[in-house]
């Protein structure tokens, strides 16, 4: 365990609790209400001007301008286009970090809005539409709103708040570094030394204003793999004259499914291994030389994750060898498991109840999607939660999901998200200084 993690965890467990009513929830709610229109204005501007991962140039300039206008110390150019703003409270206390991601997706918007995105860009050599189809525009707007609220409370606020506006959560372009991992690599936490980090994400799976959370493992690790099966080309009428990589690939696909179901402890954490590409051959009567398989691994336990990697390579190679073929296996490690600190969970849920009301706070199941917030939570205790944005008249189970060209945000949820983030920052700093 990293020294910084040990120190931060100790602080969570043993911090001296002081009077937490110095800044009343009613004062936070009043400030937040006054900020609501500004947050929506920020969100609509960002939505109309989306940019892809590691290309958030204008987004970065816009954020930096707004944060400087609030009187914050602003750093730019971190992990290419990242922005970090720092608020020093007037009283001594710990440092916490609040994070929002800011990149958009190569998706052409199909929602009829006056501020709909008409932006285009290039992605993998193709001209594509660009849209905030995952709601990162709302994340940035809500974090800027939180900063605005906290600046107004500066004279009563202990400690320091680091606002992280992070690029490339959706993944850096091929051949580039980016996102949370690069921000940390460039010394973000070493410089600011936060003892806890918080983040939120909007979701179509919950009604607008409803908050979802989970303690412990919450979101999966996400790894990509490629298996190349080398056989021996022959005529389709004489399969015995070669080694058929298509048949071998089929055997590998089926054999690999037993890893999750038979070879790792399913009672400890679920896992999924899925193939998304099988590419080989060009004609009906020619058995090809090789076949390429591409897929993803999702898991909720870092130890089991390593086991799956080993077993995937072992299974593919031995199945291929048994047929006289050869398998080359490459595993590309993606985001680790997102784990919510239990002490932070207990603390934050009380704030959720205060802001949204108990009826609007729900414990969620495991999410097989992945998030690079996980890197921050590996360094210090972290907590990541979800904010519903589906309108009341829609069924969240059938509403267009995040990443859909029809993904729609009910903006009434934004005031809940901004107030929640403000309240947890205020209360954490007051209770731990």
Contacts of 179 by beta carbon, 8 Å cutoff, 6+ apart:
53, 79, 166, 167, 168, 169, 171, 172, 372, 375
For residue 282, with 0-12 CB atoms within 10 Å meaning exposed, 13-18 middle and 19 or more buried, which class applies? Answer: exposed
Q: Is 428 a catalytic residue?
A: no
CA 382: distance to chain centroid? Answer: 13
Phi, psi of 16 (to 5 degrees): -70, 125
Strands 211-213 and 290-299: unpaired
Q: Is 328 a catalytic residue?
A: no
Q: Which of these is catalytic: 292, 313, 328, 411? A: 411
d(CA 47, CA 142): 13
Nearest to 313 by CA among 277, 262, 267, 273: 273
DSSP 254-292: HHHHHIIIIIS-TTT--EEEEEEEEE--SSTTEE-SEEE
CA distances (Å), 327 to each of 212, 318, 330, in order?
43, 8, 10
Phi, psi of 295 (to 5 degrees): -160, -175
Nearest to 413 by CA among 241, 106, 204: 204
d(CA 4, CA 10): 10
* Beta bridge partner(s), residue 298: 222, 272
d(CA 138, CA 364): 21
Residue appearing with tokens 């299974």: 315
Q: In this structure, what token pair is assigned to residue 315?
A: 């299974």
The secondary structure of residue 20, as a DSSP letter, is: T
Q: Which of these is catalytic: 335, 375, 408, 428? A: 335
d(CA 139, CA 142): 5
Nearest to 350 by CA among 413, 414, 410, 431: 431
d(CA 289, CA 228): 10
CA distances (Å), 429 to each of 30, 36, 70, 158, 390, in order?
19, 23, 20, 6, 32
Give the catalytic positions in this structure.
335, 411
């Amino acid at each position: 365990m990293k020294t910084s993690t040990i120190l931060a965890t100790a602080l969570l467990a043993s911090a001296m609790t002081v009077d937490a009513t110095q800044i009343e929830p009613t004062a936070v709610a009043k400030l937040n209400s006054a900020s609501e229109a500004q947050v929506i204005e920020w969100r609509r501007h960002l939505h109309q001007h989306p940019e892809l991962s590691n290309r958030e140039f204008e987004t970065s300039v816009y954020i930096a301008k707004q944060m400087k206008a609030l009187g914050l110390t602003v750093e730019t150019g971190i992990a290419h286009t990242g922005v970090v703003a720092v608020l020093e409270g007037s009283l001594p206390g710990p440092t916490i970090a609040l994070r929002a991601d800011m990149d958009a997706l190569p998706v052409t918007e199909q929602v009829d809005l006056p501020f709909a995105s008409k932006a285009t860009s290039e992605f993998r050599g193709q001209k594509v539409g660009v849209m905030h189809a995952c709601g990162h525009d709302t994340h940035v707007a809500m974090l800027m709103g939180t900063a605005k609220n906290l600046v107004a409370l500066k004279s009563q606020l202990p400690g320091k708040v680091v606002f992280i506006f992070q690029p490339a959560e959706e993944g850096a372009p091929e051949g580039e570094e980016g996102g949370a991992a690069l921000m940390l690599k460039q010394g973000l936490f070493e410089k600011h030394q936060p003892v806890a980090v918080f983040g939120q994400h909007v979701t179509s799976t919950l009604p607008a204003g409803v908050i979802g959370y989970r303690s412990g493992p919450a979101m999966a690790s996400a790894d990509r793999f490629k298996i190349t099966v080398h056989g021996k080309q022959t005529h389709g009428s004489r399969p015995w004259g070669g080694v058929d990589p298509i048949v071998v690939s089929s055997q590998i696909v089926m054999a690999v499914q037993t890893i999750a179901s038979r070879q790792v402890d399913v009672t400890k954490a679920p896992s999924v291994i899925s193939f998304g590409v099988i590419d080989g051959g060009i004609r009906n009567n020619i058995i090809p030389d090789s076949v390429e398989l591409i897929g993803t691994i999702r898991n909720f336990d870092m130890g089991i994750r390593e086991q799956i990697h080993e077993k995937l390579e072992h299974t593919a190679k031995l199945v291929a060898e048994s047929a006289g073929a050869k398998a080359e296996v490459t595993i590309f490690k993606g985001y680790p498991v997102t784990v919510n600190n239990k002490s932070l969970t207990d603390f934050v849920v009380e704030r959720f109840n205060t802001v949204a009301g108990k009826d609007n706070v729900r414990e969620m199941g495991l999410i097989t999607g992945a998030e690079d917030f996980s890197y921050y939570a590996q360094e210090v205790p972290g907590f990541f939660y979800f904010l519903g944005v589906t309108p009341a008249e829609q069924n969240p189970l059938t509403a267009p999901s995040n990443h859909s060209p029809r993904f729609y945000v009910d903006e009434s949820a934004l005031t809940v998200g901004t107030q929640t983030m403000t309240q947890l920052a205020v209360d954490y700093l007051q209770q731990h200084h």
